[in-house]
Amino acid sequence: MASNIEGQVKAIVAKLAKVPAGKISSTADMRKLGIDSLMALEVVANLERAFKIHVPEGKIRGVVRVDQIVKLVDELRSPGQKRPSSARDSRKITRRGRTPAKV
């Protein structure tokens, strides 16, 4: 499973770095590939979309290599991880579209 994740991560990074995915090693440093902080945000957004995960800001700090990203994605996708829900999903909606009053 991790190899599939690694392939997808490499494809995402490769697209933004404009480098062939085959030329990116698992220990490749994002900075050496030309990924700056703004592009790193794009990487995170693409990871969230591709893997249907939420990457907390605290978890991504210090992650600079492809293998670290793969490990993070694998952890966030593992069973038992709490998935974020939208505010609308977490509320009970009454027939009139209002949330019930707390008792």
Q: What are phi and psi of 60, to 5 degrees?
A: -85, -20
pTM greater than the 0.85 cutoff: no
Give the amino acid at 30.
Answer: M
| Cα(64)–Cα(16) distance, integer angstroms | 15
Average of per-residue pLDDT across 35-43 = 94
Residues 6+ positions from 14 with CB-CB distance below 8 Å: 20, 21, 23, 24
| Cα(27)–Cα(101) distance, integer angstroms | 53
| Cα(24)–Cα(15) distance, integer angstroms | 11
Q: Is pLDDT of 50 > 60?
A: yes
pLDDT score recorded for residue 78: 83
Q: Which domains does the chain have, with CATH numbers?
A: 2-89 (1.10.1200.10)
Residue 97 structure tokens: 């579209």
24 compared with 93, residue with greater pLDDT: 24
Question: What three-state secondary structure class fits 81?
Answer: coil
